């Protein structure tokens, strides 16, 4: 089956010749019309539209956006804050930066609609420290929008006022975790908070109810209000609505970012047709489908899933649709949409050594299993690739990872242990044979990862 | 004191046993009530919950109810309500008991969790127990034995961190031993209100340190050493002096102010090595000031009085006391007794009886300095309220003995007995003292002991047994930790002997033996025996003295009575 065409909603104007990131260009293309519409709607009606749309968060966890808003404590009398998570730090993910760089007003419009819907008076864009240009673009865009009355006191002439502030992070992966982000925004070390009791919807920023949404999610909110929740729900597949941006990197002919209806394209179509297949003379070996912390898939493995009617179907890796639910059923996740492809030039021990080095470096160090376990795993894989591998290291790696997952303060425990668990489970033979094969011939041009 | 309302009790189930716990109790404390040990490092009952060590992971379940009808779902197999167990283990410290909560601590999953956390804590921890000061009171040692696997799978190099960082004048840090539990950080921030500690770097390379340009100098810094579960923070003073398992522990009271922080005195073979706080949730929680820990040094201070003296000649305590009686008896009617707010209530009672027998006026020297709002109050005597209760004095003492000075000037007083007070420092002049015979009972040399006609060396608080009445009118006992020096005598022995020699009544020199008479003679002490005073003290009715202008301000667990 041929791959469906891209459906560019969020990325409608990305890379469009002549499209600039200033306000005039955005307004010329119909910008802020949705905000004008939104301020005529009752906030509860907007929340209803978002619930009807079935929009799921695009940051990684895929949590229902409407449900997240419903959980917000609106009776406390405290202010409600919106935090835009622009910390895009999951390796393999590069979508939010293009929105920020090329279409910042789309994000600002989505923020203002969300703020109106949730009676938020202050919104913060937490942008990662590695995006200095993005931060400047956002600040300029906010100033423009403020001067034009889209942001600030009396939004579009209404009594409602809302300010947006840009806050730059200092380059830590953990600041993408929402409670770590909140701590960082409060000026502290980004130690994720324990939940319970610190659910952001109740005790978030400054112990006030807080909504934390991803950049792409908020752009979808804008589109939902534009076309209506029911219309949005028709895009994509049931329970996996809308479009999403897929960032393909690694060993394909045409890496890049593509926007498709959720679940309408399979992994195989994406890699072979959209991305042009493997590099000449190579074969696909493995793919991480949702950002580096998602569990790896091995080309050649199959998954038997239950259909709703009770029958079973078997999927090859190439057959898995790019959605949330099937990915989860196959033991991995759609995550942040970062698809990392590895071909047969890659040794999986070395690839894992690279990932483990990243996670050991990024563990915040707050809780024991992640702090000690991530570094231990890094030390093991690092030792392996430096000529001191042991046949039993794979088993040990898996055991260490098993001691982390599910026992930590935040989801970093899973993020750092899932790669190890899945690499060892699916490529255990390579780990076992690594002491002997370390110096085995590699395809020409392959580089050492560590 | 109004009775505190009875806390709401709720029933939870720990390892199959129901237990009623006050609302708000966490799972660790609830389990403790049924004798189930949930191990932990970062949790501390008097600090905020951090939840970072992950040692207290337990399985949590709630009774199943039908979502629609809210009716209990009964398990047909057991006939009991089914329990929905959360698949992931939860931390006990941050899980608050709710009605019907079920906890399992003895499952294979929890055993495996604890082994995992123990292993992780040890992979970068130096195994230098043989030279570590914490050995013997180290949570890591104890729980590695109790919950660890017993062997190591770690063959990589351990992290290297600073081994000797002086965080402040009294606290030394070994970063390699630190398990990053953040108790010390939370203590400084939340209790000492001196937010100087924090972590730098991240992951396993995280390192405890002070903020740039700051030091851990506050007067509560050594509490961080107490609560450090490992040997990362050690006391500069105690470090490498003695193995803790050789030390005898004696309950005592910090005498540096009227707070009366509960303490433990650690001694071996007559030598005190350190003083640490003892938990009393009504007085000092688990804290005490650094200054109170230094007091043991007075026992062996160079200016300690070690030999009795009579008219400048060395003597024995017994001979000196006999000489004192010979001096005082004929002077009856012209004697003044300067008692002490540092004496125990038993000693003050005997002092009062002695003053009665000699027809003497009794005085007390006040000591005040601004309090710190925590565990050091403005009244730097530990037992002024004891003097009020025993009737040694009827009013709050002044810092100057002006009245006594006038009496000396008027010739009304010929002999002065001073129980440990330096009369010159208290405002009497050398000329005044030259006109009277001074009997000095005290521990350390001062200007008064130098000019006293009779000097009887006595014991410090660590060498005595007795009780103090603190600012809350709480009667608290302290016990003799070490024997006093050979040439000195216990205050109570000295005072009872003096009392009987001047033809007062005879009391055996034991607090327990004096209490029957005290309980009989003093109405607020009625029904109390020395043995019956609980380890955490007993509140007395101080309403009779409520009108006095006590100097104490608000402190931990203390609110001064509103001034009329």
Q: Do A365 and B180 touch (CB under 8 A)?
A: yes
Q: Look-up: residue for tokens 């710190």?
A: B372
Return the pLDDT at A441: 45
What values do phi and psi take at B440, rounded to 5? -115, 120
pLDDT by residue (tens digit) across A170-201? Answer: 989 999 999 999 999 999 999 999 998 999 99
Return the pLDDT at B7: 64
Average pLDDT of the segment spanning B512-523? 96
- Residue B284, min C-alpha distance to chain A (Å): 28
Per-residue pLDDT band at A60 (split at 50, 70, 90): confident
SS3 B96: strand
Q: Do B153 and A367 touch (CB under 8 A)?
A: no
Q: At B146, list the tokens.
A: 């109790």
Residues in chain A within 8 Å Cβ distance of B159: 375
Per-residue pLDDT band at A444 (split at 50, 70, 90): low
Residue of A173, A366, A389 best to disrupt the B interface, most CBs of B under 10 A: A366
The interface predicted TM-score of the complex, written ipTM, equals: 0.93
Cα–Cα distance for residue pair A311/B99, rounded to 1 Å: 42
Is a pLDDT exceeding 80 seen at residue A450?
no
Q: What percentage of residues in chain B have a pLDDT greater than 90?
A: 94
Residue B509 near residue B491, CB atoms below 8 Å: no
pLDDT by residue (tens digit) across A313-345? Answer: 999 999 999 999 999 999 999 999 999 999 999
Residue A342 near residue A422, CB atoms below 8 Å: no
Average pLDDT of the segment spanning B266-295? 97
Q: Do A364 and B113 touch (CB under 8 A)?
A: no
How many other CB atoms are found less than 10 A from the CB of residue B263? Answer: 26
Q: Do B52 and A362 touch (CB under 8 A)?
A: no
Ordered domains of chain A (ranges, CATH): 23-234 (3.40.50.11540), 242-343 (3.10.20.600), 348-437 (1.20.1440.230)
Which of A189, A196, A372 is nearest residue B123 as measured by Cβ atoms? A372
Q: Do B117 and A407 touch (CB under 8 A)?
A: yes
Q: At A70, list the tokens.
A: 């419903």
- Residue B365, min C-alpha distance to chain A (Å): 50
Return the pLDDT at A449: 45
Return the pLDDT at A405: 96
Helix boundaries (H) for A254-367: 267-268, 325-329, 348-362
Residue A83 near residue A211, CB atoms below 8 Å: yes
Q: Which residue has the higher pLDDT, B335 or A388?
A: B335
Residues in chain A within 8 Å Cβ distance of B91: 194
Mean pLDDT of chain B: 95
pLDDT by residue (tens digit) across B199-219? Answer: 999 999 999 999 999 999 999
Instruction: Give A37-63 as a DSSP string.
Output: HHTTS-HHHHHHHHHHHT-B-SSSS--
Residues in chain B within 8 Å Cβ distance of A409: 51-52, 54
Cα–Cα distance for residue pair B143/A271, rounded to 1 Å: 51
Is a pLDDT exceeding 50 seen at residue B29?
yes
Which of A363, A366, A379 is nearest residue B52 as measured by Cβ atoms? A366
Helix boundaries (H) for A119-255: 132-147, 178-185, 200-203, 215-227, 229-233
- Residue B366, min C-alpha distance to chain A (Å): 46
Is a pLDDT exceeding 90 seen at residue A443?
no
Among B361, B363, B360, B339, residue whose Cα is nearest residue B351: B339
Residues in chain A within 8 Å Cβ distance of B49: 194
Cα–Cα distance for residue pair B168/B188, rounded to 1 Å: 13
Which of B49, B88, B121 is nearest residue A368 as measured by Cβ atoms? B121
pLDDT by residue (tens digit) across A121-143? Answer: 999 999 999 999 999 999 999 99
Interface size A-B, in CB pairs within 8 Å, comes to 97
Residues in chain B within 8 Å Cβ distance of A172: 202
Per-residue pLDDT band at A3 (split at 50, 70, 90): confident
Which of B49, B113, B121 is nearest residue A407 as measured by Cβ atoms? B113
Ordered domains of chain B (ranges, CATH): 9-106 (3.10.20.740), 121-240 (3.30.70.20), 308-545 (3.40.50.740)
Among B409, B404, B485, residue whose Cα is nearest residue B443: B485
Which of A194, A361, A372 is nearest residue B51 as measured by Cβ atoms? A194
- Residue B179, min C-alpha distance to chain A (Å): 8
Q: Among A128-142, A322-336, B6-20, B357-371, whose mean pLDDT is lowest?
A: B6-20
Residues in chain B within 8 Å Cβ distance of A361: 203
Q: What percentage of residues in chain A have a pLDDT greater than 70?
A: 97
Cα–Cα distance for residue pair B9/B23, rounded to 1 Å: 6
pLDDT by residue (tens digit) across B39-51? Answer: 999 999 999 999 9
């Amino acid at each position: 089956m041929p791959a469906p065409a891209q459906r560019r909603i969020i990325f409608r104007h990305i890379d469009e010749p002549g499209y600039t990131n200033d306000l005039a260009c955005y307004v010329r293309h119909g910008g802020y019309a949705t905000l004008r519409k939104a301020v005529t709607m009752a906030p509860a009606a907007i929340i209803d539209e978002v619930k009807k749309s079935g929009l799921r968060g695009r940051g990684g966890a895929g949590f229902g956006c409407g449900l997240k808003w419903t959980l917000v404590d609106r009776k406390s009398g405290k202010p409600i804050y919106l935090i835009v998570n622009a910390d895009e730090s999951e390796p393999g993910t590069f979508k939010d930066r293009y929105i920020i760089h090329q279409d910042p007003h789309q994000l600002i419009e989505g923020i203002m609609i969300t703020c109106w819907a949730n009676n938020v008076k202050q919104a913060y864009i937490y942008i990662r420290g590695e995006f200095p240009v993005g931060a400047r673009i956002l600040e300029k865009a906010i100033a423009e929008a403020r001067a034009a009355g889209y942001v600030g006191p009396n939004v579009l002439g209404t009594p409602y006022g809302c300010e947006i502030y840009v806050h730059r992070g200092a380059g830590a992966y953990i600041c993408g975790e929402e409670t770590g982000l909140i701590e960082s925004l409060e000026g502290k070390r980004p130690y994720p908070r324990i939940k319970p009791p610190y659910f952001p919807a109740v005790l978030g920023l400054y112990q006030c109810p807080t909504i934390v949404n991803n950049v792409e999610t908020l752009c979808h909110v804008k589109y939902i209000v534009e076309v209506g929740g029911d219309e949005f729900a028709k895009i994509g597949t049931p329970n996996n609505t809308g479009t999403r941006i897929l960032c393909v990197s690694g060993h394909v002919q045409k890496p890049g970012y593509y926007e498709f209806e959720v679940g309408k394209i399979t992994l195989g179509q994406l890699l072979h047709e959209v991305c042009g297949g493997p590099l000449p003379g190579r074969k696909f070996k493995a793919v991480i489908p949702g950002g580096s912390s998602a569990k790896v898939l091995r080309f050649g493995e199959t998954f038997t899933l239950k259909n709703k009617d009770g029958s079973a179907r078997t999927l090859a890796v190439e057959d898995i649709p790019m959605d949330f639910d099937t990915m989860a059923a196959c033991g991995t996740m759609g995550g942040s949409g970062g698809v990392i492809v590895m071909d047969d030039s890659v040794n999986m021990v070395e690839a894992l050594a690279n990932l483990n080095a990243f996670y050991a470096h990024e563990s915040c160090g707050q809780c024991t299993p992640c702090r000690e376990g991530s570094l231990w795993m890094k030390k093991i894989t690092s030792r392996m690739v430096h000529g001191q591998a042991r046949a039993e290291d794979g088993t040990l790696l898996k055991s260490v990872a098993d001691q982390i997952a599910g026992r930590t303060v935040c989801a970093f425990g899973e993020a750092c242990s899932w790669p190890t668990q899945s690499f060892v489970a699916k490529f255990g033979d390579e780990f076992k044979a690594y002491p002997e094969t370390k110096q085995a011939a590699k395809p020409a041009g392959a580089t050492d990862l560590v | 004191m109004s009775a505190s309302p009875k806390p709401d009790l709720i029933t939870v189930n720990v390892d199959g046993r129901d237990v009623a716990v006050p609302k708000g109790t966490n799972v660790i404390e609830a389990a403790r009530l049924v004798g189930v040990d949930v191990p932990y490092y970062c949790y501390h009952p008097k600090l905020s919950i951090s939840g970072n060590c992950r040692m207290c992971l337990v399985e949590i379940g709630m009774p199943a109810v039908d979502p629609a009808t809210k009716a209990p779902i009964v398990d047909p197999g057991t006939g009991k309500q089914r329990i929905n167990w959360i698949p992931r283990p939860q931390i006990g410290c941050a899980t608050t008991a709710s009605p019907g909560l079920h906890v399992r601590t003895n499952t294979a999953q929890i055993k495996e969790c604890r082994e995992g956390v123990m292993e992780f804590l040890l992979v970068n921890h130096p195994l230098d127990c043989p030279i570590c000061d914490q050995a013997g009171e180290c949570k890591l040692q104890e729980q590695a034995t109790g919950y660890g696997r017993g062997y190591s799978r770690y063959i990589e190099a351990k992290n290297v961190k600073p081994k000797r960082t002086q965080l402040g004048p009294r606290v030394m840090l070994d970063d390699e031993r630190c398990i990053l539990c953040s108790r010390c950080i939370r203590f400084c921030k939340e209790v000492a209100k001196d937010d100087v500690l924090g972590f730098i770097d991240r992951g396993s390379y995280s390192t405890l340190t002070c903020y740039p340009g700051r030091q851990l100098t506050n007067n509560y810094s050594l509490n961080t050493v107490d609560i450090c579960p490992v040997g990362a923070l050690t006391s500069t003073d105690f470090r490498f002096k003695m193995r803790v398992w050789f030390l005898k522990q004696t309950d005592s009271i910090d005498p540096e102010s009227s707070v009366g922080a509960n303490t433990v005195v650690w001694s071996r073979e007559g030598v005190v090595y350190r003083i640490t706080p003892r938990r009393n949730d009504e007085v000092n929680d688990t804290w005490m000031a650094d200054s109170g820990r230094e007091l043991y040094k007075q026992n062996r201070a160079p200016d300690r009085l070690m030999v009795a003296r009579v008219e400048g000649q060395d003597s024995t305590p017994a001979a000196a006391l006999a000489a004192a009686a010979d001096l005082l008896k004929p002077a009856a009617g012209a004697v003044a007794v300067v008692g002490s707010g540092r004496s125990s209530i038993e000693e003050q009672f005997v002092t009062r009886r002695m003053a009665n027998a000699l027809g003497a006026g009794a005085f007390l020297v006040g000591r005040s300095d601004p309090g710190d709002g925590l565990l050091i109050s403005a009244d730097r005597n530990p037992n002024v309220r004891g003097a009020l209760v025993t009737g040694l004095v009827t009013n709050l003492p002044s810092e100057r003995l002006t009245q006594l000075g006038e009496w000396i000037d008027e010739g009304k007083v010929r002999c002065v007995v001073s129980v440990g007070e330096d009369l010159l420092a208290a405002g009497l002049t050398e000329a005044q003292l030259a006109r009277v015979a001074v009997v000095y009972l005290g521990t350390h040399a001062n200007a008064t002991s130098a000019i006293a006609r009779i000097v009887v060396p006595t014991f410090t608080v660590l060498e005595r047994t007795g009780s103090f009445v603190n600012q809350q009118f709480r009667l608290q006992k302290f016990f003799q930790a070490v024997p006093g020096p050979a040439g000195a005598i216990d205050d109570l022995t000295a005072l009872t002997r003096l009392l009987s020699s001047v033809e007062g009544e005879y009391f055996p020199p034991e607090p327990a033996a004096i209490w029957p008479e005290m309980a009989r003679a003093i109405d607020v002490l009625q029904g109390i025996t020395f043995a019956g005073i609980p380890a955490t003290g007993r509140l007395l009715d101080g309403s009779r003295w409520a009108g006095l202008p006590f100097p104490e301000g608000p402190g931990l667990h203390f609110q001064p009575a509103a001034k009329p």
